[in-house]
Structure 1
């Protein structure tokens, strides 16, 4: 099996050829798979088609560009939402030194702002390498520029959610202040929450209304 370093793979990647990342630590964000060490991840087109040990045995059959990720980690990054690195999901992730991804704060930073990573793959193509943008990839706009900032409330008054320009949210539930707090990121009409307790949640803006966790909220004027 002829492997390439990350640098060589970025420089030589041929559009249309599968990418096979081998010997990586893969932070799948999947509750069943968890974090995999010494694992392989196969990308065909814009999708992940396989993850786990032993995929490298099919490298020659698939004419894949094999990227040696010894000492590196693959981390999901923000798209429509952070998607797990599992088959069928978009091949969108950052490639970082494995020790870097061990920090919860750094891990969160990579998901929100993938341009900070040494390399980023989006929809199966290298789009960022060492801070340089290689394609027309556009990272998410800063949260401070979002038109959706402000206080959102549901019609019953049970839920009140404030979105602030520093990328933080603060929820009041049934009159109980600070019931949930954490960070958020908005891309287009979608919002992703990462609560300080560690869980993720999602929402969507439609015609001036925020749909989140079964609630329908409007912005307080």
Structure 2
């Protein structure tokens, strides 16, 4: 465990970055001694605090976590003079429009995904100003972390970082051999949705054939639809079920 020099953007914790990028053993990562804008109504803002995550899960936030860093073989990133803020802005929460803590979609309590910014305190009085720094002065950003993996570090792109998907509608999907090809039927036998090997779908609704039809793309457990009428829709595979627009279907 080592805490490296934090003076100057170019020299901000380079050893820690190397350790994080080489971390294939599931070592905890601890950002320490920061002001943390959790955006969680229970926890609030903390000063002189630590943010601990393992992989893509936040497991601790608050003062004193650093005391166990050596025991846990944690990678330590010194954030003296820095503010940590959520990298994803929940504008509804900022406006006070979330009624329950569980509804917050972008906050930094334990149990959430570590998507966060590390910005010098003078640029991050609050969450909006921290995000503004990322957009207008990215060179000032010490770190941008997405699901526990650095994207920006010391104002520069991290080698091997994820890149945005190419914009535009992809080519037709080839679903040949996919176990999800076939006719999916809802519980009431109202909706029949056929997924075909050439990356298309065709819906029968209440016995009305070709009610909707178009292209589809499957990415993991997600399916996106582009109807021939021009609208987009979405579904999700959960076990042996396909959930789409309020319907729950199984392969017929």
Task: Give the alignment's TM-score, normalised by structure 2.
Answer: 0.50
Deviation at 1:7, TM superposition (A): 2.9
Q: 2:16 — aligned with what?
A: 9
Pick aligned residue for 2:144 from 97, 116, 120: 120
Q: 1:176 — aligned with what?
A: none
- Unaligned segments of structure 1, at least 5 residues: 148-204, 209-221
CA separation in 1, counterparts of 2:127 and 2:51?
A: 22
Q: What secondary structure does 1:70 align onto?
A: coil
CA RMSD, 1 decimal? 3.6
Structure with a larger share of its residues in strand: 1
Deviation at 1:104, TM superposition (A): 6.0
User: Residue 100 of structure 1 contacts residue 106 of structure 1 at CA under 8 Å; is this kept in 2?
Assistant: yes
User: Residue 75 of structure 1 contacts residue 110 of structure 1 at CA under 8 Å; is this kept in 2?
Assistant: no
Deviation at 1:127, TM superposition (A): 1.9
Q: What secondary structure does 1:42 align onto?
A: strand
CA separation in 2, counterparts of 1:42 and 1:49?
A: 6
Deviation at 1:61, TM superposition (A): 1.5
Asked whether 1:137 is paired with 2:162, we answer: yes
Q: 2:50 — aligned with what?
A: 40
Higher-Rg structure is: 2
Deviation at 1:12, TM superposition (A): 3.2
CA separation in 2, counterparts of 1:27 and 1:139?
A: 27
CA separation in 2, counterparts of 1:114 and 1:124?
A: 22
- Unaligned segments of structure 2, at least 5 residues: 6-12, 91-103, 170-230, 235-252
CA separation in 2, counterparts of 1:56 and 1:42?
A: 9
Pick aligned residue for 1:61 from 59, 71, 80: 71
CA separation in 1, counterparts of 2:133 and 2:105?
A: 11
User: Residue 39 of structure 2 contacts residue 106 of structure 2 at CA under 8 Å; is this kept in 1?
Assistant: yes
Pick aligned residue for 2:85 from 75, 91, 95: 75
Q: What secondary structure does 1:109 align onto?
A: helix
CA separation in 1, counterparts of 2:124 and 2:105?
A: 15
CA separation in 1, counterparts of 2:119 and 2:75?
A: 19
Deviation at 1:94, TM superposition (A): 1.0
User: Residue 40 of structure 1 contacts residue 55 of structure 1 at CA under 8 Å; is this kept in 2?
Assistant: yes
CA separation in 1, counterparts of 2:164 and 2:105?
A: 13
In the alignment of these two chains, the number of paired residues is 150
Deviation at 1:60, TM superposition (A): 1.2
Q: What secondary structure does 2:47 align onto?
A: strand
Q: 1:97 to 1:139 in 2, by over 3 A?
A: farther
Q: 1:82 to 1:140 in 2, by over 3 A?
A: farther
Deviation at 1:128, TM superposition (A): 1.3
Q: 1:92 — aligned with what?
A: 115
Task: Give the alignment's TM-score, normalised by structure 1.
Answer: 0.56
1:184-219, Cα deviation, whole Å (9 max, x unpaired): xxxxxxxxxxxxxxxxxxxxx9729xxxxxxxxxxx
Q: 1:21 to 1:103 in 2, by over 3 A?
A: closer
